[in-house]
Structures are given as C-alpha cells and as structure tokens.
Amino acid sequence: MSRAISLHQLSKTYGRSVQAVDRVSIDIDPGEFLVLLGPSGCGKSTVLRMIAGLEDITSGELLLDGEYSNHLPPGQRGMAMVFQNFALYPNMTSRGNIGFPLRFEAPDEDSGPRVEATARMLGIGDILDRYPAQLSGGERQRVAMGRAISRRPSVFLMDEPLSNLDAKLRNHLRSEIAHLTRELGVTTVYVTHDQSEAMSLGDRVAIMRGGVLQQVSRPREAYGLPANVFVAAFIGTPRINLLQAVVHAPLGGPMVIDLGRQRLRLPQPLSTDHQLLRIQQGRQLVVGLRSEAVRIAPPSQAGPGEVAISGLVEHMEYQGHEALVHLNTGSVPAVVPDLESPRPAEQRRRRSAPSGGLLTRLKERTVTQLAHTLPRAEEPPTAHAGGPHDPDRPRLSASDLVVRTGPDLRLRTGAQVPLLVDLAHLYVFDHHGRRICPAPTEQPGFDMDPA
Ligand code: ADP
C-alpha cells in the first residue's frame, strides 16, 4: 500500500543557472514520515514536486519501490498532494470536494461511504454539506486533506499545509496529521521551513540549505548531533549560542578554548572528543552552546565536566514557564550565512551572477568580514584577521550568550553573574562549519560538506 521512495543524486536546474536542487540522495522507507526542512528558497518544494512528477528531473534518479520512475506520469504514481493554498472548488460542498477525485479513480463506486469514513477520521462529519465560503481556515484545510485521503494514496506529499493557519490551529492540526498518517501507514513527505513543526512531526528530518542536503536523521540526532553549524543554528529555540573561538594546547599545560575575553579550561585527562581538538590548535573555530548547556551558578557549585566563566546581564526575556537571560561574555558571536535565506528573486540574481567574477568575490568577502560571518566553505578565512583577539574588530551586538533559567529568577541589567558551562554539551565546528566535537560519525547517503 505505501511506497518506498529513493532519491539518488537528484538535481534540478532552472534555466541555465538556477541550481535549485543539487545532488540530493535520500532513501525513504514505506510508511515513513520524512520532513524536508530548510529556509525558504532552499529547494524543498522542488524536491517534492520532482517526487510528484510535477517537475522534470534534470539529473539523478527517482526510484519508487525500487523502480526507475523519473518519467512516470504523475497520475500513475499513486500520490496525493496537499498544498499551502488549499484550493477547494467553491461551488461544491465539502462532500463534493472530498469525493471529487473518486469520480475519476473509482467511477463505478458509490463514493458516499468513503467520503463519510474520511470525514469521520478528520472530525468534519458535521460540515459535509457546507460550501468552502462557509468554513473556517482549519475546516477548509481538513477538507483539502480529506480530498487527499479519500483517494487512499500510497504516498502523501504535503507542502507547508499548515502555514496559512493561526498558531493554535496549526498545533492542533499538526498532531492530527501525525496521528492520521501513522494510522493510515502511508509514506509521507512533508515540506516546512518551521523547525519545531519538523521536529514534532518527522520520523526523520532532512535539512537542506541552498539546494544541498545537510543532514538526514531522527529529530533527536539533528538537535543533539548536528552535522554542521548551519543545522545546529537552524534547529532549536532559542537559537544555539555560536561564539568564535581558538584552541590553545601548550605542551605540558592544560588545553583551553579561548573565547576572546574568557577561556574554557578543558579538564584532564582530556576526553577523546577534546583530544581531537589538539590538531585544530590556532585555527579559527566556532563553539556552540545551547541555552541549556550553561547555568547561572558560582564556581563552588561546579559539577564534574563544568567550567566557570562569567557574564554581564544585558536583559531578561520572560517566557512564562522559563526566562531567557541575555548576557555579554565579551565573546564574538559567529553568524551563519543563509539561515534567513534571501528572497527568491534576489537568490536567482545571485545565482545567475558569474560565480568566479573578481567583483563578486570581493563583494562577498567584504560582506563576510563586515558581518563577522563564518566563512563559507569555498572561502577559507584569511589568516586570523578579524578573529576574536583582533582589537579593531567591531562588536555588533552586546549580548553574545542566551541562558535558560527558571521563570522566578530576577536579575538586574548590568549585574555580573557567574556561569557554569557543561562541557558534555559543548559543540565545536571547524572553519568550514563542520562539527568536530563531538567527533562526527559518518552518515551514509549524503555529503557532510556544507559547501
Ligand atoms: P523552497 O521550497 O525551499 O522555498 P523552492 O524549491 O521553491 O524552495 O525553490 C528553490 C529555488 O529554485 C529558489 O531559488 C527559487 O527561486 C528557484 N525556483 C523555483 N521555481 C523556479 C522556476 N520555475 N524558475 C526559476 N527558478 C525557480
């Protein structure tokens, strides 16, 4: 009933120069719920549309149940698609809309029982005789899903199906989709730019950036073991703290991670992961600390694997169940390019610019250095100019570290607070943005290089 979908080095180029999807390989199991996640313009919908047969494949292979299917007509793929802009027929009731595909798929069958069973499943049995104009946004989206479900497809393809709905309804329908797709056991590929939606829905999440697959893994691994700095920054709220850093490993002395004004002294004997940092000595690195990896407490309370630093309170963000403390530790934040991707038109323009042009490269370099960004993989950093120790380096933001605390803690702006960093939850990324601590394990099927 449900299908296996394999993408092998799938690419899509629009016109001569817009590389929307670049050699994406993923094997999706029958019945699996896979989420394609990434900023807008990264190629998610294009992948989905190639699976659906709505977009020609430029190169690579699409296999359905192991069969080469690049040129299989959309109608023969057994797939149903749900879009963001759910277009219902305005002159048909919900019943008519849900039953519409059955007119062609099962013309001899009485569609009534199937429509009613589908409506019951979606909790919309009481609105079957209403027209779209008489429905709320959530009800309309349920009818659209009903239309997809009633066909009993072997694959659901969903393209941001909830993004037109308000937050409350989105959360509600999100859990219904999770429940329903698993109950039906249908392979589902779901596109979203919303990381919390991806994390809560997917059996696995495939994270894309600029047409390139960055990581495919279960949500827990994507959060806990991000393959690179882009994935680390894209997943998790509040965003992971990313600080520019340099490792010093003097002979006979303790190894330290230098964050500019403060140092993390690594405990001896070094863990295997920390030993691997030795070879990065002196290079520009990025340290990643999630807001729960740092706590406000004096050095005397440090547990094993915790090291002390301190910070000045910039401001507090009260969240009800917790508070976020924004601190200044004197470190230089690392900024990750592409997190908020440019508008499509801008991106098309950028992509169509001659890539090797001197002017383009000069412009990119200037932007990269001014914005303190991590260099892109194809542009190695120039020596240590602008590193954390460069006194001429301008500061962009006063707060460089966000720490999570209980909701009742009250701190004065400007107060100096002691901090404990949990080294077991410390990430280090190399100058290409690849995670080097904890040491990476190879993941088959995709290129870890974020270039
Ligand atoms: P996402 O779904 O991640 O927002 P898309 O797959 O829609 O991204 O688009 C990926 C890239 O391909 C974008 O840069 C977009 O501008 C470009 N693109 C999409 N469709 C076309 C098209 N028909 N012609 C030219 N470029 C396109």
Q: What is the pLDDT of residues 47-93, one digit of tens each?
A: 999 999 999 999 999 999 999 999 999 989 999 988 877 789 999 99
Q: So what's the pLDDT on residue 340?
A: 61
Q: Which residues line ligand 1 (CB under 6 A)?
A: 14, 18, 20, 38, 40-46, 344, 347-348
Residues of the chain with CATH 3.40.50.300: 5-224
Q: Which helix (H) or strand (E) holds 113?
A: helix 112-122
* CATH 2.40.50.140 domain residues, the chain: 229-332+380-437
With b for 16 or more beta-carbon neighbours within 10 A and e for fewer, the 89-125 pattern comes to eeeebbbbbbbbbbeeeeeeeebeebbbebbebbebe
Which of 180, 207, 246, 233 is closest to 44 using CA atoms?
207
Whole-angstrom distance, CA of residue 437 vs CA of residue 209: 22
Q: Answer for the pair 256, 247: CB distance below 8 angstroms, yes or no.
A: yes
Query: Is the pTM of the predicted complex or chain greater than 0.75?
Result: yes
- Number of C-alpha atoms within 13 angstroms, CB side, residue 23? 8
Q: Which long-range contacts (CB under 8 A, 24 or more apart) does 61-66 make?
A: 61/6, 61/7, 61/8, 61/9, 61/10, 62/5, 62/6, 62/7, 62/8, 62/10, 63/4, 63/5, 63/6, 63/8, 64/3, 64/4, 64/5, 65/3, 65/4, 65/30, 66/4, 66/6
Looking at the predicted structure, is the pLDDT value of residue 349 above 50? no
CATH T-level topology, domain 5-224: Rossmann fold (3.40.50)
pLDDT at residue 54 in the model: 95
Q: pLDDT per residue over 17-47, tens digit each?
A: 899 999 999 999 999 999 999 999 999 999 9
450 Cα: distance to centroid of ligand 1 (angstroms)? 19
| 138: pLDDT strictly greater than 50 | yes
Nearest CA to ligand 1 atom 1: 41
Residue pair 35/205 in contact by the 8 Å Cβ criterion: yes
| Residue having the nearest C-alpha atom to atom 5 of ligand 1 | 43
Distance 174 CA to ligand 1 centre (A): 25
CATH 2.40.50.140 fits 229-332+380-437, yes or no: yes
Please choose, from the candidates 272, 264, 271, 278, the residue with its C-alpha nearest in 3D space to the C-alpha of residue 306.
264
pLDDT for the residue numbered 341: 47
Give the per-residue pLDDT at 391. 41
296/301 Cα distance (integer angstroms):
10
> Mean pLDDT over all residues of the chain?
84
How far is Cα 218 from Cα 440, in angstroms, rounded to an integer? 16
